[in-house]
């Protein structure tokens, strides 16, 4: 009997412990340690400012504006050796399931998502931003990034504006909404391709909003190149009008930018070592810690001391033999028998989106194209860029026709803006073929393979999405 | 039953009669068997054997026969005769081995089990040259499919119980060790996105410490693990001491292993011929560009340099294993302890695993109503990993691709590298014509380091009290603590991070702690002599905390430094890390009833709440019910005298799969650093309604044994309907959503099939026995719904989950052979039109030569399924006197394999090729499957059904021969037993598969992309010899 009592004392003790435990043990209430909820992100002015920074962080997408989109435009241009590293892109042979193409497409829209998500969050929490003007600036920054990504997407995945008279051919889907779990699978999320003209119109609208609300540049602080500014929006609008062949507007835009204090550095190489001079209008900033393990930075792909995926021997042919042009002598390097650009030498190298020389050359080009004459001002602009690099100085008399001058301006563009994401775009918008290059065959202007396939994975899942011909 | 026997035996042991003594030994090993029940038939007299197997018994005058009973051995009756001595040898009985099975929160008598459970005994797992016990389960249990990923040591193992239970989530089962759930992690390593060098955490457990493994397959058996049971539960029980024994034993085995089957690559001469033919076909034979490969003679021995890179990267691995264990016990205490050390050199150079482990299991019963015990183990494993598939530097990528017309070394003995840190180019025009750069296969293996050191503490302590008769209350607390340190070193001379940073060390330390506290009560009562009622109810908590921290250093003062040593490096990238946690809180209960050991019914319920689920669906309820009818106990069955036991079973229940990311249901922002500016970026789009996957499981089966248990048959039909599948549902890329997916419950599928396990004693004559065990599983999976019924496509685009098809169905363009007229590759459109491809024009043509649109991804059709439709094992044991021979086959089939290894080695780029390429088309009229060679041909060798092959195989997985030194001899040298044995693993595979091994699964846990062979290291074949000494 005593034993039973003793047992019962022991078991009561154990049962009591269990009972206590069932109350005390709360293992379910777990909040993330590594992450914040959307509500907490939009809870204070400081945090909202950080969400703006996040837009730029996602704009650094390794498969897109982290640098690769520039590579894709140039390895499909005329001034690099054919590059095999990037799936079928560099060989004009991608299939619609090409992983590199799919990653580029995904990367561009991924950056757009963050911008759209921010815009939605901002809309609900505008009152938490200290001033209305600052809220408008944030909105303009998000829309700037959205426009920028749409820009590169439409130029990679659709024929250039000039393919039809009014840009009425297929462009890309325009993404203006960040979907969530409740609607990401709905038909609403199945975006169809807008026409190129519609895409241009959307970009134009976003950039114009930027012109109104983005801060003007005052100096050479990090954010004045690495974040969107009024000047950056104006300059991209200039590029858009040039592609659209609206030369008057392009000239007007160029003049606006010129009036904002931008200027060339003394040496062409400076912009690639000092990233925040008045020559750089907008760049995607990088440092080593942004992505230390990347295989996707410009410095890795182009760097003579890195992966060396892209050599640029054909670039030399744009210059005379033994040229002392500074863009040869200070911006290229010979390594293992091949020529490499030194614009990008490490993971820290910034991605130049638009520099002031482009503004000068674009204006020159627009002047000539708009007037079909040998515009003296165009020659002056051309000389400004060329002379800085110790290059040829031209006289008006050097040009027998406006076409001569135009070709010279376009050649200067290739020299000056090489490997900055213009190669293929500049050829196609001027209705030029992509020339044969090494083992790559000539790709006639307007032919199917000059643009990339819409990734199969989206074609299969979205009945509204139309594939490019030939894929 | 045993309790009844005990009472019966003890009560009248001292009755009058004549004394009989003798010794009971194990027929297999000759070892004495302690604790064997010896009873006089037809009386209540009886006793047990002592620790030396001997017994003395007083037999009543009417006693003529002795009965010897011992758990796990065949019961023997022996007539007493006129002498005073009766010695017997008992043989182990497969049927009886599983007399008691481990179930959730308890054990059950096998005859009372109404769920579907397969038991695997220690003998099938011990002393095998594997790193983790799951590898040794291959072919052992019906319904359990084991796939080794590769021949790399401690690589992941894919375990599928009754088919694939999930599309996006892990489909691995829950492992429960001594009642405590193990961490559900299939790879501890995180570098290279967790896909570089893998480490299976089950390798932390010493397989020789395992006593038995029970696989709980249906809902009835697994229901008590509720939301984690959908993929089945594997219950592992470690060894414990037995009362009345004291034993020390030493186990040693040693052996070697080699790659069982290597790809057949071109030699140097053929390589040059083939590569130059590719170029000549493109540029014309006279064109100077048509020579792209040629000889070099770096060692200046007058002969062109030649290297078989496979000889360089593969090696004869060796293995040794030592284990010292001690076990025993008295009435109140029992113990088992072991220490072990294993050292396994893999079949790939530099690949090695060393593990030391120690275990102590202790049980004490100080009072008849109180029992307590601990189970503890510690292990430390150093795994020298190597990169394999998916990496250009990987052994099977670099090693297979490298040109054979190059030297391994420079004249000075350094590795033959080019200026870029890649493999030297020799006379090959690599830079223009390769698809991918070539790493130095051997230099990479030797100079790079990919180590991880795992330390694991796994243990539990329990207290069990019995306040009143029939009621037991148990409290059990367990931990699973993992500390994994990854240590990568990248050498500056090999292109890569080491090259970029002048040497780079990357380290990551993961610490994961899981505690689990379960408290439960079990009540057993026998009412009215026939009504057996047993009830179990309890609560359980579990919490996991995990963090990891990474530190890095580069630009070392000298290549001498290969660790993070203060002052030895100039470059220090930022450190990084992560931290997370999750928790379970659960209630469970089980009610079992049987009437006269004849009619059975059982109900079980678990209510699980998991922190990871959406706020709207935190808690789930998982019920199961089962019934059984031991029809053999019915009086009308008594006429069938050959019948020993026949039980019909049926069960139905709902279990879940909660193996999702800790915060999968949340929409989250994370740190978003833009250069030096801190920001927040969205990282995940969550779903508040996210809940567990639901598995509705039906099982109908029977267990039959006939002819004195010589034949045992278990049959099961199962149907598992899985709904609310958690998909990382792919969103359109144009949405831009992070990871291009949202975790959502949107889909359903079923697995149905049959299982058969047949155990027979085929021959038992003149001391010769032959017993065998066959298991067979046939299974069918079909996806029945998905969101909008849009297929879930794997990123490769080659396989998917699609409604109306089995999961992982291949979707490929169809290959139509090579046109004998021109050597062009031909493909079928989805409408069965043949199109041929001319690489020179990069265009497609109809057979009549008219140009046509290209073959595209939209021409792909469903082409077959990667999961075996049937599989199983066939084990034979032969014994004669002191010898035993085991012959174990494993088979599997009905599946397709996408042989991307082969595809990648048959391309038109400058790269080594398989010998198969010599069958290429050369002139009109050639009938072959290999198109005309064409340098950098982008399309002819595209992924198509050309690379899809049948995966049927029969493998002689294990052949073993053992010899037990007779006890007369062992006793002379003062030992109680000596066993010698030799084993051969994976001696041969019969298959038509052209790759290295049809048991391959490069994508490991990715259920929709199973059956890809993309440069997995081939499986090893190994030979070991061992000795087991008992003191």
* Residues β-bridged to residue B653: B624, B697
Tokens of B640: 């069938």
Most confident option among B135-149, B920-934, B962-976: B920-934
Distance CA(B391)–CA(B1020), nearest Å, equals 21
* Set of chain B residues whose Cβ sits within 8 Å of the Cβ of A19: none
Tokens of A443: 């790709």
CA dihedral (B705, B709, B712, B714) in degrees, to 10, reads 50
Distance CA(A235)–CA(A145), nearest Å, equals 14
- DSSP code for B105: T
Q: Which helix (H) or strand (E) holds A369?
A: helix A356-371
Cross-chain CB nearest to A11 (options B431, B473, B683): B473
- Cβ atoms of B791 and B801 within 8 Å: the answer is yes
C-alpha distance from B625 to closest chain A C-alpha (Å): 27
DSSP strand pairing (B233-238 vs B245-259): unpaired
Confidence at residue B6, expressed as pLDDT on a 0 to 100 scale: 35
Confidence at residue B13, expressed as pLDDT on a 0 to 100 scale: 38
Cβ pair A17:B369 closer than 8 A: no
- Gyration radius of chain B's alpha carbons: 31
Cβ pair B674:A457 closer than 8 A: no
Distance CA(A413)–CA(A368), nearest Å, equals 14
Q: Which helix (H) or strand (E) holds B712?
A: strand B711-723
Give the least confident one: A248-262, B55-69, B241-255, B767-781.
B55-69
Domain count of chain A? Answer: 1
- Cβ atoms of B405 and B266 within 8 Å: the answer is no
Count of residues for chain B? 1031
Confidence at residue B457, expressed as pLDDT on a 0 to 100 scale: 95
Cβ pair B666:A47 closer than 8 A: no
Residues 112-131 of A with CB under 8 A from B: 112-114, 116-117
Confidence at residue B8, expressed as pLDDT on a 0 to 100 scale: 35
Q: Where are the beta strands (DSSP E) in A40-124?
A: none
Contacts of residue A279, Cβ cutoff 8 Å, sequence gap at least 6: A262, A263, A264, A265, A270, A271, A355, A356, A357
The answer to whether A313 contacts chain B (CB < 8 Å) is: no
* Set of chain A residues whose Cβ sits within 8 Å of the Cβ of B432: 438-439
Residue with tokens 């091949």: A338
pLDDT greater than 50 at residue A192:
yes
Q: How many helices (H) and strands (E) does chain B have?
A: 11, 56
Confidence at residue B812, expressed as pLDDT on a 0 to 100 scale: 96
Cβ pair A53:B732 closer than 8 A: no
C-alpha distance from A410 to closest chain B C-alpha (Å): 29
A81, part of any domain: yes
Confidence at residue A116, expressed as pLDDT on a 0 to 100 scale: 97
The answer to whether B193 contacts chain A (CB < 8 Å) is: no
The answer to whether B291 contacts chain A (CB < 8 Å) is: no
How many CB atoms sit inside 10 A of residue A17's CB? 12
Q: Give the pLDDT band of residue B77 (cuts 50, 70, 90).
A: confident
Instruction: Report percent pLDDT > 90 for chain A.
Output: 82
Q: What region, left, alpha or beta, does residue B112 occupy, with left being phi > 0 and alpha being psi -120 to 50 degrees?
A: alpha
Confidence at residue A315, expressed as pLDDT on a 0 to 100 scale: 96
Q: Which helix (H) or strand (E) holds A103?
A: helix A99-125
What SS3 class is residue A303?
coil
Tokens of B109: 């008598």
HSE (side-chain half, CA atoms, 13 Å) at B969: 11
Confidence at residue B93, expressed as pLDDT on a 0 to 100 scale: 65
CA distances from B335 to A379, B207, B773 (A): 96, 18, 32
* Residues β-bridged to residue B216: B117, B233
Instruction: Report percent pLDDT > 70 for chain B.
Output: 97
* Residues β-bridged to residue B259: B1020
- Cβ atoms of B325 and B466 within 8 Å: the answer is no
Confidence at residue B246, expressed as pLDDT on a 0 to 100 scale: 85
Q: Give the pLDDT band of residue A241 (cuts 50, 70, 90).
A: very high
pLDDT greater than 90 at residue B481:
yes
Q: Give the pLDDT band of residue B76 (cuts 50, 70, 90).
A: confident
Mean pLDDT over residues B959-966, rounded? 93
Distance CA(A350)–CA(B675), nearest Å, equals 10
Angle CA(A234)–CA(A239)–CA(A241) in degrees, nearest 5? Answer: 90
Cross-chain CB nearest to B733 (options A22, A179, A457): A457
Give the model confidence (pLDDT) of B546-582 as tens digits. 999 999 999 999 989 999 999 999 998 888 899 999 9
A418, part of any domain: no
Residues 383-412 of A with CB under 8 A from B: none
Q: Does the model's pTM come out above 0.95?
A: no
Mean pLDDT over residues A208-225, rounded? 96
* Set of chain B residues whose Cβ sits within 8 Å of the Cβ of A26: 585
Distance CA(B1007)–CA(B171), nearest Å, equals 7
Instruction: Report percent pLDDT > 90 for chain B.
Output: 63
Tokens of B392: 């250009």
Confidence at residue B486, expressed as pLDDT on a 0 to 100 scale: 95
pLDDT greater than 60 at residue B765:
yes
The answer to whether B635 contacts chain A (CB < 8 Å) is: no
Q: Where residue A136 sits, what CATH number does that domain have?
A: 1.25.40.390
A161, part of any domain: yes
Cβ pair A109:B736 closer than 8 A: yes
pLDDT greater than 60 at residue B16:
no
CA distances from B8 to B20, B80, B960 (A): 19, 20, 42
Cβ pair A14:B463 closer than 8 A: yes
HSE (side-chain half, CA atoms, 13 Å) at B66: 27
Angle CA(B404)–CA(B408)–CA(B414) in degrees, nearest 5? Answer: 160
Tokens of B482: 């993992």
- Cβ atoms of B879 and B768 within 8 Å: the answer is yes
The answer to whether B51 contacts chain A (CB < 8 Å) is: no
Mean pLDDT over residues A84-103, rounded? 91
Q: What are phi and psi of B758, to 5 degrees?
A: -125, 120
A355, part of any domain: no
Tokens of B723: 């709904």
Distance CA(B368)–CA(B468), nearest Å, equals 11
pLDDT greater than 90 at residue B480:
yes
Domain coverage including residue A57: 1-198
Mean pLDDT over residues A260-268, rounded? 96
The answer to whether B511 contacts chain A (CB < 8 Å) is: no
Distance CA(B891)–CA(A37), nearest Å, equals 50
CA nearest neighbour of B820 among B847, B851, B856: B847
C-alpha distance from B47 to closest chain A C-alpha (Å): 30
Cβ pair A57:B674 closer than 8 A: yes
Distance CA(A90)–CA(A71), nearest Å, equals 9
Mutate to test the interface with B, among A81, A185, A290 (most CBs of B within 10 A): A185
Residues 768-797 of B with CB under 8 A from A: 787-788, 790-791, 793, 795, 797
Confidence at residue A291, expressed as pLDDT on a 0 to 100 scale: 61
Give the model confidence (pLDDT) of B784-826 as tens digits. 998 878 888 888 889 999 999 999 999 999 999 999 999 999 9
Residue with tokens 């008691």: B100
Closest-approach residue (CA) in chain A for B193: A293
Instruction: Tell me the count of A-B CB pairs closer than 8 A.
Output: 271
Mean pLDDT over residues B973-980, rounded? 89
A277, part of any domain: no
Q: Which helix (H) or strand (E) holds B67?
A: strand B65-69
Closest-approach residue (CA) in chain A for B436: A85
SS3 content of chain B, % helix, strand, coil (to 5): 15, 50, 40
Distance CA(B724)–CA(B785), nearest Å, equals 10
Q: Give the pLDDT band of residue A25 (cuts 50, 70, 90).
A: low
Mean of per-residue pLDDT scores for chain B: 90
Confidence at residue B331, expressed as pLDDT on a 0 to 100 scale: 76
CA nearest neighbour of B169 among B118, B124, B231: B231
Q: What are phi and psi of B623, to 5 degrees?
A: -100, 155
Residue with tokens 């693990």: B225
A60, part of any domain: yes
Task: Count Cβ atoms within 10 A of the Cβ of residue B72 and give its class: 0-12 exposed, 13-18 middle, 19 or more buried.
Answer: middle
Contacts of residue A212, Cβ cutoff 8 Å, sequence gap at least 6: A136, A140
What SS3 class is residue B717?
strand
Q: B80 or A124, which is more confident? A: A124
What sign does the CA torsion over A386, A391, A396, A399 have? negative
Instruction: Report percent pLDDT > 70 for chain A.
Output: 94
Cβ pair B858:A97 closer than 8 A: no
Mean of per-residue pLDDT scores for chain A: 92
Give the least confident one: A39-48, A316-325, B95-104, B246-255.
B95-104
* Set of chain A residues whose Cβ sits within 8 Å of the Cβ of B686: 181
Q: Give the pLDDT band of residue B422 (cuts 50, 70, 90).
A: very high
* Residues β-bridged to residue B25: B32, B89
Q: How many helices (H) and strands (E) does chain A have?
A: 17, 4
| Alpha carbon B635 to chain centroid, angstroms | 45
């Amino acid at each position: 009997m005593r034993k039973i009592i003793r047992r019962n004392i022991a078991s009561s003790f154990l049962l009591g412990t269990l009972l206590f435990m069932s109350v005390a043990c709360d293992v379910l209430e777990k909040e993330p340690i590594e992450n914040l909820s959307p509500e907490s992100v939009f809870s204070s002015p400081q945090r909202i400012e950080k969400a703006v920074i996040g837009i730029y962080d996602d704009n650094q997408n390794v498969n897109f504006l982290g640098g690769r989109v520039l590579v894709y435009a140039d390895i499909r241009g005329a001034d690099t050796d054919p590059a095999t590293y990037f799936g079928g892109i560099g060989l004009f042979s991608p299939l619609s399931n090409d992983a590199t193409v799919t990653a580029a497409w995904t990367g561009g829209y991924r950056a757009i998502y963050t911008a759209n998500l921010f815009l939605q969050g901002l809309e609900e929490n505008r009152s938490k931003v200290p001033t209305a003007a600052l809220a408008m600036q944030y909105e303009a920054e998000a829309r700037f990034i959205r426009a920028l990504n749409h820009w590169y997407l439409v130029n990679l995945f659709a024929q250039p504006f000039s393919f039809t008279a009014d840009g009425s051919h297929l462009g890309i889907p325009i993404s203006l909404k960040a979907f969530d779990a409740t609607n990401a699978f709905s038909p609403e999320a199945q975006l169809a391709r807008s026409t190129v003209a519609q895409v241009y119109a959307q970009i134009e609208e976003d950039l114009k909003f930027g012109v109104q609300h983005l801060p003007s540049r005052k100096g050479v602080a990090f954010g004045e190149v690495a974040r969107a500014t009024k000047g950056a929006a104006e300059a991209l609008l200039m590029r858009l009008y040039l592609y659209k062949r609206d030369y008057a507007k392009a000239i007007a835009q160029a003049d606006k930018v010129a009036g904002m204090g931008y200027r060339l550095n003394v040496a062409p190489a400076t912009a690639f070592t000092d990233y925040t001079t008045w020559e750089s209008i907008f760049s995607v900033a990088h440092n080593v810690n942004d992505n230390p393990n990347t295989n996707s930075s410009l410095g890795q792909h182009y760097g003579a001391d890195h992966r060396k995926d892209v050599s640029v021997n054909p670039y030399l042919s744009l210059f005379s033999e033994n040229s002392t042009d500074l863009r040869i002598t200070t911006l290229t390097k010979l390594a293992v028998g091949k020529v490499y650009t030194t614009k990008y030498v490490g993971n820290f190298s910034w991605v130049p989106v638009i520099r002031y020389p482009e503004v000068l050359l674009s204006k020159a080009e627009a002047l000539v194209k708009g007037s079909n004459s040998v515009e003296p001002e165009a020659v002056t602009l051309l000389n400004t860029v060329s002379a800085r690099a110790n290059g040829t100085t031209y006289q008006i008399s050097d040009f027998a026709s406006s076409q001569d001058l135009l070709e010279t301006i376009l050649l200067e563009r290739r020299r000056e803006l090489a490997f900055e994401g213009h190669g293929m775009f500049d050829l196609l918008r001027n209705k030029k073929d992509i020339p044969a290059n090494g083992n790559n065959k000539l790709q006639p202007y307007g032919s199917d393979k000059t643009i990339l396939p819409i990734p199969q994975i989206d074609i299969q899942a979205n009945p509204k999405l139309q594939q490019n011909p030939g894929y | 039953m045993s309790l009844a026997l005990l009472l019966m035996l003890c009560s009248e042991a001292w009755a009058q009669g004549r004394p009989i003594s003798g010794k009971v030994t194990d027929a297999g090993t000759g070892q004495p068997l302690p604790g064997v029940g010896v009873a006089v038939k037809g009386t209540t007299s009886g006793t047990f054997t002592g620790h030396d197997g001997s017994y003395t018994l007083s037999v009543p005058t009417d006693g003529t026969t002795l009965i010897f009973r011992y758990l796990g051995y065949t019961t023997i009756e022996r007539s007493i005769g006129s002498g005073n001595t009766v010695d017997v040898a008992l043989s182990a009985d497969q049927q009886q081995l599983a007399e008691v099975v481990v179930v959730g929160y308890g054990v059950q008598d096998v005859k009372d089990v109404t769920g579907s459970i397969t038991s695997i005994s220690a003998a099938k797992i011990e002393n095998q040259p594997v790193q983790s016990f799951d590898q040794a389960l291959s072919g052992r249990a019906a319904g359990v499919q084991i796939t080794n990923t590769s021949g790399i040591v401690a690589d992941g193992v894919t375990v599928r119980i009754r088919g694939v239970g999930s599309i996006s989530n892990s489909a691995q089962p829950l492992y429960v060790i001594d009642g405590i759930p193990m961490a559900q992690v299939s790879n501890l390593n995180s570098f290279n996105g967790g896909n570089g060098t893998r480490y299976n955490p089950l390798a932390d457990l010493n397989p020789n410490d395992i006593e038995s493994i029970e696989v709980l397959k249906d809902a009835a058996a697994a229901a008590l693990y509720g939301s984690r049971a959908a993929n089945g539960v594997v219950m592992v029980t470690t060894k414990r001491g037995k009362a009345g024994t004291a034993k020390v034993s030493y186990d040693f085995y040693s052996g070697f292993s080699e790659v069982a089957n290597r790809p057949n690559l071109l030699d140097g001469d053929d390589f040059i011929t083939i590569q130059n033919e590719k170029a000549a076909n493109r540029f014309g034979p006279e064109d100077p560009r048509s020579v792209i490969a040629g000889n070099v003679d770096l060692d200046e021995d007058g002969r062109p340099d030649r290297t078989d890179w496979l000889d360089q990267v593969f090696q004869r691995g060796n293995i040794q294993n030592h284990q010292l264990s001690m076990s025993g016990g008295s009435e109140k205490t029992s113990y088992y302890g072991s220490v072990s050390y294993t050292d396994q050199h893999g079949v790939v150079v530099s690949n090695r695993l060393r593990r030391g482990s120690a275990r102590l299991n202790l049980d004490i019963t100080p009072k008849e109503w109180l029992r307590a015990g601990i189970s503890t183990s510690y292990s430390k494993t150093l795994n020298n990993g190597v990169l394999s598939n998916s990496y250009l530097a990987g052994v099977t990528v670099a090693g297979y691709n490298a040109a054979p017309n190059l030297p391994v070394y420079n004249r000075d003995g350094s590795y033959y590298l080019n200026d870029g840190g890649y493999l030297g180019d020799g006379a090959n025009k690599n830079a223009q014509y390769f698809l991918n750069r070539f790493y130095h296969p051997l230099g990479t293996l030797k100079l790079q380091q990919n180590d991880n050191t795992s330390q694991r503490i796994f243990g539990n302590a329990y207290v069990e009290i019995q306040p009143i008769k029939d009621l037991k209350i148990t409290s059990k607390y367990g931990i699973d603590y993992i500390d994994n340190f990854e240590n990568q070193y990248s050498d500056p001379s090999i292109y890569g991070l080491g090259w970029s940073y002048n040497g780079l060390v990357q380290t990551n330390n993961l610490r994961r702690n899981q505690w689990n506290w379960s408290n439960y009560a079990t009540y057993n009562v026998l009412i009215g002599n026939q009504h057996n009622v047993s009830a179990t109810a309890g609560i359980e908590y579990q919490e996991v905390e995990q963090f990891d921290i990474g530190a890095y250093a580069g630009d070392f003062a000298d290549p001498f430094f290969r660790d993070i040593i203060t002052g030895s490096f100039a470059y220090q990238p930022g450190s990084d890390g992560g931290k997370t946690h999750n928790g379970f809180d659960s209630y469970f209960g089980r009610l079992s009833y049987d009437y006269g050991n004849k009619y059975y019914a059982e109900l079980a319920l678990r209510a699980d709440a998991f922190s990871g689920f959406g706020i709207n669906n935190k808690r789930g309820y998982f019920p199961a019910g089962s019934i059984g009818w031991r029809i053999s106990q019915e009086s009308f069955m008594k006429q069938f005298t050959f019948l020993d036991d026949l039980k019909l079973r049926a069960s139905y229940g709902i279990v879940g799969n909660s193996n999702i990311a800790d915060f999968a249901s949340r929409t989250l922002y994370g740190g978003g650093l833009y250069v030096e500016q801190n920001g927040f970026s969205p990282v995940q789009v969550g779903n508040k309604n996210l809940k567990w996957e639901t598995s509705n499981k039906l099982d109908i089966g029977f267990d039959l044994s006939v002819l004195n248990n010589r034949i045992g048959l278990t049959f099961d039909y199962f149907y598992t309907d899985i709904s609310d599948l958690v998909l990382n549902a792919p969103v359109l890329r144009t949405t831009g959503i992070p990871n291009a997916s949202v975790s959502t419950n949107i889909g359903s599928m079923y697995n149905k099939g049959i299982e058969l396990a047949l155990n027979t004693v085929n021959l038992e004559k003149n001391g010769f026995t032959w017993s065998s065990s066959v298991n067979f599983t046939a299974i069918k999976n079909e996806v029945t719904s998905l969101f909008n019924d849009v297929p879930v496509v794997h990123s490769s685009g080659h396989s998917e989950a699609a409604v109306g098809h089995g999961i992982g169905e291949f979707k490929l363009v169809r290959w139509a052979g090579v046109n004998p007229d021109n050597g062009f590759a031909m493909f079928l459109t989805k409408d069965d039109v043949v199109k041929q491809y001319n690489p020179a024009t990069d265009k497609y043509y109809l057979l009549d030569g008219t140009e046509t649109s290209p073959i595209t991804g939209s021409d792909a059709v469903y082409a077959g399924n990667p999961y075996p439709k049937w599989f199983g094992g066939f084990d034979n044991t032969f014994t004669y006197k002191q010898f035993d021979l085991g012959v174990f086959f494993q088979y599997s089939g009905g599946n397709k394999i996408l042989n991307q290894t082969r595809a990648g080695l048959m391309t038109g780029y400058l790269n080594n090729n398989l010998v198969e390429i010599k069958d290429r088309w050369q002139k009109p009229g050639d009938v072959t499957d290999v198109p005309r060679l064409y340098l950098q041909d982008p399309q002819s060798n595209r992924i198509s059904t050309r690379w899809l092959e049948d995966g049927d195989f029969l493998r002689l997985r294990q052949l073993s021969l053992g010899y037990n030194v007779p006890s007369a001899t062992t006793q002379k040298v003062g030992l109680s037993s000596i066993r010698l044995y030799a084993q051969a693993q994976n001696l041969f595979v019969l298959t038509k598969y052209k790759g290295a091994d049809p048991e391959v699964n490069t994508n490991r846990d990715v259920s929709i992309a199973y059956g890809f062979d993309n440069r997995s290291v081939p499986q090893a074949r190994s030979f070991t010899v061992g000795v087991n000494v008992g003191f």
